[in-house]
Amino acid sequence: MIWSIIPEELIFAAEPQHEAGRSVVHQGRRLYLRQGRIEGLLSTEPLDYLDRRFRPGTVFAPDNRGRELR
């Protein structure tokens, strides 16, 4: 049982909801972008979240290896 003010639809959503942005896979990590900047990161590797390249707010400049997901 979960006691939360967050609606169940958000807690049990299949993927995080990122409005008006796009999702790309870059170097094996899923990035959520908005206006050319990283908004979020989805990775199973804890050290990825400490990597400065994937910080929220960082300008995303792929080296032609990122592929866009729709």
pLDDT digits (tens, 9 = 90+) for 15-45: 655 556 788 998 889 999 988 899 999 999 9
Distances in whole angstroms, Cα of residue 27 to Cα of each of 9, 46, 55: 30, 15, 15
Per the model's pLDDT, the better-predicted residue between 32 and 69 turns out to be 32
Model-wide pTM > 0.85: no
pLDDT of residue 49: 93
Q: Which three-class secondary structure state does DSSP give residue 41?
A: strand
At CA 30, angle to CA 28 and CA 34, rounded to 5? 140
Q: pLDDT grade, residue 64 (50/70/90)?
A: very low
Establish how many alpha carbons lie within 13 A of residue 26's alpha carbon, considering only the half-sphere containing its beta carbon.
19
pLDDT of residue 70: 43
- Which letter does DSSP use for residue 4 in this model? -
Domain boundaries, the chain: 20-62
The residue-averaged pLDDT of 48-66 equals 81
